[in-house]
Amino acid sequence: MKICRSCGAENPDTGLRCSSCGAALENENTATALLGSMGGRKYGSAAPGDAGDGAASRTGTGLLGSMGGVTYEASAEKPSGAGGSAPSAPTETNTEAGLLGSMGGVVYETASPPEAVKPAPPAKSEKKPASAPKEAGLAGSMGGIRYGIRPPAPPPEPAGEEEKCRPDKGLIVAMAITVVSLAAAVLLVFWNTLFGGAELYGRGIGGFANYYKPVEEEDVLEEDGVSYVGNQMVIVSSLNASQEEMEDFFSQHDMEIVGYVELIDTYQVQLDKEYTLAELHSMARELEKDPHVDSATVNAVRENTAFLVPSDPWDGNSDWSRPAYAAGNWGVVAIRAPQSWERWEPAEVRAGVLDSMFDVDNRDLNYSMTKDNEVFKYVTDPDERAHGTHVSGTIGALHNNGLGVAGVAENCVLYGYSAYRYEGTIEEVSAIAELAAQDVRVVNYSMGLVPDIRDEAIESNGMEREIYYRYASEFSQEALRHLLRKGYDFVLVCSAGNDPVGAEWASEYAYITDPEIRGRILVVGAAGIDRGGAYYQAYWSAKGPRVDVLAPGVDIFSTVPGGGAYMSGTSMAAPHVTGVCASVWAIAPELSGAQVKSIVVRTADIPVPGGDAKMVNMYAAMAAAEAEKP
């Protein structure tokens, strides 16, 4: 039986309208509020029609549907004729709100029921319809199209703004790795400084192991006029001793490696405690008896001084900012440099300068590298700031640029290594090795011991002489020999010193006697020019047979921070010879260091009356080098 929802009368199951009031009877076996699609179109409940409107009436209230390409939607029920008007059917009142669905590629949804009419509960069905109601909140897909609860609409994009590209994740990862790596490298470099450990200098430059622990003032002891590090030694290993063997050797002797210059097989070792000078001396002699060791020495500390303005004849009161008797270019003219510049156009050549400090901002100088030069901006003494820059200008100031001066060596690239502080035994030879590794074969050394140390060593025959000269020169000699054995040739040009004593006392390099190494070290005295144009050896220039050649060293005009200035000293003479050696090697790179020195010395034929040697002749040296090229 069917119960009429309008009047409550019972009607047969086969009836379509109420026999009492004429209202349309609902089919209890048809669920309400179902959604579906056929043929890709939306459909739903149609208004109940007349008695003959069977197709629509069997659909059920609240259904959406389409047939034959026409979309049907629920509408108000038409009035029925004689029985008066039937109540209006609510629009999709039996559809659960919020469900989305699609079939056949079309998305559809249900409308919310009007608040005025509550939907009737669906009748039970023995057979589940094809499009069963979905629980709210479920999502799914059919035919590749998603359906379910509609997500909230995205916020509107600003008008005219283009879509921003998302950053590439791989690029972000690579950048992060780079930042971490750089941070790790910086931390590694500054670790020892930050946490109070040993600060290492020189590591990595030149492509080989080259580092050392600088001497700190608190570590320096003094005994019998000798300054030294009480808990360190410097050792040159034998050529056939591997680094692993030396590590074992030092471990057996309770020594820790804190410095290592690979090219010259030189180790700086830390001892278990501080020792007296005599104890270190005895220890060094014992170590040299071992086949692993070629040389062992105390890490002596000496304060370097640049051979700047000589103090003896003028007592430091003379004005060195203006020329004396000649033009500012008299030095290069005297050694016949202009004739050489006119005849030869040498290839690029490299020259090293081991000196005080360097003005890297000087536009007349071409520095490829400076090392340990940071102190330059903090030192206020104009002479100390000027020395290394002045020496550099004489060697290789740029030509034809309308600035300053023209260096002896044309087309020259400079490599500056600052030694402005207390120096340990290992540091200078480390610099020479590092420069050699960068194909710098000529190095200028216009430095030396302070006069007090030198004079005390000369006047006594004790430990001072042994430490600063004999042992230091033996160590340097062995280190440079190792450099040669590994294929790195060199010429070291040293100033002779600004006191009328033997030139061998100028430095440990001038003191070297071994023929192989001495054959590559040039010691240079200073010459001047008088009013009549005659040359003379400056009386304050060091004397004796160790002077290999003379060069202009009085009133020499060259580069300084902020411009140019006149200076005098054997420091000014040595760079003239360095420029000549560099130029000779530039046109004849096949020559050995010993051959270069031999050519420069034997072609030095410009007479200097009363001098210990003759003045260098650049033109003659280059002509000889060209003739002797293999």
Place of tokens 């500390």: 301
Contacts of 169 (CB under 8 A, 6+ apart): none
Mean pLDDT of 70-99: 40
- pLDDT-derived band at 22 (thresholds 50, 70, 90) equals confident
More confident call, 441 vs 321: 441
More confident call, 445 vs 153: 445
In angstroms, rounded to a whole number, what is the distance separating the alpha carbons of residues 532 and 369? 42
Q: Helix, strand or coil for residue 145?
A: strand
More confident call, 85 vs 13: 13
Q: How high is the pLDDT of residue 325?
A: 59
In angstroms, rounded to a whole number, what is the distance separating the alpha carbons of residues 231 and 271? 5
Q: How high is the pLDDT of residue 374?
A: 84
In angstroms, rounded to a whole number, what is the distance separating the alpha carbons of residues 476 and 554? 30
Contact 548, 524 (CB under 8 A): yes
Q: Which of 47-61, 114-128, 547-561, 585-599 has the lowest mean pLDDT?
A: 47-61
Q: How high is the pLDDT of residue 464?
A: 72
Q: Positive or negative, the Cα torsion across 309, 310, 316, 317?
A: negative
The fold of 308-627 is Rossmann fold (3.40.50)
User: Mean of the per-residue pLDDT values for the chain?
Assistant: 74
Per-residue HEC secondary structure of 389-415 comes to HHHHHHHHCCCCCCCCCCCCCCCEEEE
pLDDT at 110 over 90: no
Mean pLDDT of 130-159: 42
- pLDDT-derived band at 421 (thresholds 50, 70, 90) equals low
pLDDT at 617 over 80: yes
More confident call, 578 vs 46: 578
Q: How high is the pLDDT of residue 449?
A: 74
Q: How high is the pLDDT of residue 465?
A: 74
Q: How high is the pLDDT of residue 445?
A: 96
The closest alpha carbon to 616, from 524, 511, 479, belongs to: 524
Q: How high is the pLDDT of residue 623?
A: 96
Contact 555, 326 (CB under 8 A): yes
Mean pLDDT of 203-207: 52
Mean pLDDT of 437-465: 80
Mean pLDDT of 303-308: 60
Contact 32, 120 (CB under 8 A): yes
Residues in the chain: 630
58 CB-contact burial (10 Å; exposed 0-12 / middle 13-18 / buried 19+): exposed
Q: How high is the pLDDT of residue 400?
A: 84
The closest alpha carbon to 303, from 468, 450, 433, 156, belongs to: 450
In angstroms, rounded to a whole number, what is the distance separating the alpha carbons of residues 210 and 362? 29
For the chain, domain boundaries: 1-156, 308-627
Q: Report helix, strand and coil shares of the chain as percent, to nearest 5.
A: 30, 20, 50
pLDDT at 461 over 60: yes
In angstroms, rounded to a whole number, what is the distance separating the alpha carbons of residues 121 and 94? 7
Contact 352, 440 (CB under 8 A): yes
pLDDT tens readout for residues 516-547: 999 999 999 999 998 888 899 999 999 999 99
Q: How high is the pLDDT of residue 76?
A: 39
In angstroms, rounded to a whole number, what is the distance separating the alpha carbons of residues 612 and 250? 46
Tokens coding 407 = 């260096």
- pLDDT-derived band at 579 (thresholds 50, 70, 90) equals very high
Q: How high is the pLDDT of residue 105?
A: 42
